[in-house]
Amino acid sequence: MAARTLRIGLIPGDGIGREVIPAGRRILEALPSSLGLKFSFSHHEAGWETFQKQGVALPDRTVEELKNGCDGALFGAVSSPTTKVEGYSSPIVALRKRLHLYANVRPVKSTLSAARPVDLVIVRENTEDLYVKEERTYTAADGTKIAEAIKRISETASYNIAAMAGDIALRRQRVRESGVGQSIHKRALVTVTHKSNVLSQTDGLFRETARRALAESRFRGVEVEEQIVDSMVYKLFRQPGDYDVIVAPNLYGDILSDGAAALVGSLGLVPSANVGKDFVIGEPCHGSAPDIEGKGIANPIATIRSTALMLEFQGEEKAAAKIYEAVDANLEEGKLLTPDMGGKATTEEVINDVCKRL
């Protein structure tokens, strides 16, 4: 059988993005040939430095090249000015919109030897809720100011994100059953998070639609439960091992995913993927980290895991599982850890170690 060739766009961005995105390429090139995968790579510009050079943070050329010449991409990090700069806006937010990447998927995983093992995925709807940014401020009759914001929840977006959560739960279960790597979970579980006891129409629609989507026959192997968002926050930090896949509207997903990163001790470990029906961008959750730029000590694990996550959404679950296993082995051994993890290893040493384990 002929090898499958995947075309991967590399978008380093700013700061340590230029140091960790090469890790993704090297990991892909180190995968065993028995997996039947080959890769070609292209380089693309986006970020604050691109804005300073070209007057635009996300050139049209980058978007068109990704659409027409790539099967997926890896995005590094973006530096943002501390004050408003006319004409500048975040290129990753623009990419999500222009490539219709409606889901933000963030796995959070600790080592199995951790005091409280964590192995969960937060699936965040990426296009609506309060993030539609439709706000207004007006003056009431008594002279006081009032600010209002639209919270928009649609049946279509709620269905799509719930179905994706179900697909992820089944995929994680297949990886577990493949015998590659280890997990604290024994079953596929999706926790639908909402506040429909107060927001009966908006969150009520999200809850009802998610329930309907996950009741379809293709998700027969997925257990479904619900959790009110405020108690979800409490239980997530008290009992993180109880959760497998969590699906939430945009605002709740944002809060939960950032908070959950604290469970594993460093953003340098946490990957994400921006996912649509036709494209996926793997993206480490950390920023451009100008304080350590150029020192060679940036943690590449988040990028390596984001690379595996990208492969998952391209249907290459076995390859993804191999990468996860190699990363887990590196972290479990604990001999080569970067400074954010309390170690003294360099970026290069960690990359080399994970590649050897592949």
Tell me the pLDDT band of 181, cut-offs 50, 70 and 90. Answer: low
Question: 37-94, pLDDT tens digit by residue?
Answer: 999 999 999 999 999 999 999 999 999 999 999 999 999 999 988 788 888 988 988 8
CATH architecture designation of domain 1-101+276-358: 3-Layer(aba) Sandwich (3.40)
Tell me the pLDDT band of 179, cut-offs 50, 70 and 90. Answer: low
Q: φ, ψ for residue 154 (rounded to 5)? A: -110, 155
- What CATH class is the domain 110-265? alpha beta
Question: 144-158, pLDDT tens digit by residue?
Answer: 999 999 999 999 999
Q: What is the pTM of this model?
A: 0.87
Residue owning tokens 């479990």? 332
Tell me the pLDDT band of 128, cut-offs 50, 70 and 90. Answer: very high
Q: What is the pLDDT of residue 29?
A: 97
Question: 297-344, pLDDT tens digit by residue?
Answer: 999 999 999 999 999 899 998 899 899 999 999 998 989 999 998 899
Give the Cα-Cα-Cα angle 46, 49, 54 (nearest 5 degrees).
75
16 Cβ contact list (under 8 Å, min separation 6): 76, 77, 286, 288, 289, 292, 293, 298
Q: φ, ψ for residue 287 (rounded to 5)? A: -90, -160
Domain with CATH 3.40.718.10 in the chain: 1-101+276-358, 110-265
- Residues 79 and 288 sit within 8 Å (Cβ to Cβ): yes
